[in-house]
Amino acid sequence: MFKRGRQWMITAVLLLAMTALAACGADGNTASEADTLQTENAAQQNTSSGNSAAEGTNAGSSDEAATRTIAGEFGEVEIPTHPQRIAGIYVEDYLKALEVTPVVQWYHPSWGKQDYLGLDVPEFDISGSIEALLAEEPDLIILDGGVDAEKYEQYAKVAPTYRLPDSVLQDSRQVLTAIADALGIPEKAESVLADYDKKVEEGKARLQAAVGQEKVAVIRLNVADKTFALFGVKNRYTGVIYDQFGLTPVPMAAAMTEYQQIISEELIPELEADRIIIFPDNGAWETAENQEAIRILDDPLWQSLPAVKNGHIYRMERSHWQSGAITANSMKLDDLLEAMANN
């Protein structure tokens, strides 16, 4: 009896020990699984944090790529990589050639604006306050050589401002290329220039066949004081008709080092001009003020000129003839071909 009781007790103790061991094993597994989950969660959080950091880095890189630095006449300037609202003061012609519509068009109360562009945008009076530009919210301002360092600083307070280098201003092709580069569309400039070069090549051949070596003078009628300005071969507006279109300048224009020179009416016969291109300094030929001024062209002195007698005096519209930009130059070629090569 005692022996059986002793065996039962030993069995009970063994069962209790096995139960305890099983419980310990279960607790160990639970702890191990919890540790594993904690580790996995931590890893996921670290991975997530790593991805976020990477995304943050990429976003930063993207933000940095949203601007770039270019060199203008007055130093380097940080500009948008892909500007959307461009103000091109004096250079709207080039923007139009590049199929970019500016947010404003420059205007001056005394000079008017470049009507030939046909832009339907607000006018910006360059004689007034630059702060007027703020309302149009430009993200890039491009300036021509008509703006000095002091004026440049004023524009730069409105938006990032790129003043074209003086080194490109005498060549419309270089100006177009510089502006296209600033806008991030250099390939567009290449396309525009390829079309332009083809047009010039064909037009030059037609003019040469029609005009040959006849001497051509370009004269501006200054309406207010009724004087004449002879434009020389280096004139930024009209020099293109000689160096690109192949026309022959009158000797006086060929010898000029300045852009233009005021000449008296009496001196006009001494120009030795076979053909004369003339336009008013402001407004259209039809305005009352200009009608009064052009009476001088009815003077017997004018009427005695061989160019007039031969029907070779051409009244041009002043707007694009007083611009040296790419669109204006193309229009000048159209005018010359119509006036000289279609007869």
Sign, CA dihedral 277-166-123-193, equals: positive
Query: pLDDT at residue 132 above 60?
Result: yes
Per-residue pLDDT, 173: 95
pLDDT 10s digits, 54-94: 333 333 344 556 999 999 999 999 999 999 999 999 999 99
Please give the structure tokens belonging to residue 292. Answer: 């009064």
CATH architecture of 206-341: 3-Layer(aba) Sandwich (3.40)
pLDDT 10s digits, 12-59: 434 444 444 344 444 444 333 334 333 343 333 333 333 333 333 333
Name the pTM for this structure.
Answer: 0.78
Cβ neighbours of residue 34 under 8 Å, at least 6 residues apart? none
Structure-model confidence comparison of residues 271 and 39, the more confident one: 271
Residue range 161-187: mean pLDDT, rounded: 96
How is the chain split into domains, by residue range?
1-65, 68-184, 206-341
CATH H-level, domain 68-184: superfamily = Nitrogenase molybdenum iron protein domain (3.40.50.1980)
pLDDT 10s digits, 292-320: 777 878 888 888 888 989 999 999 999 99
Per-residue pLDDT, 343: 62
Cβ neighbours of residue 340 under 8 Å, at least 6 residues apart? 207, 210, 211, 275, 314
Note whether 68-184 and 206-341 share their fold.
yes
The answer to whether 320 and 327 are in contact (CB under 8 A) is yes
Per-residue pLDDT, 275: 96
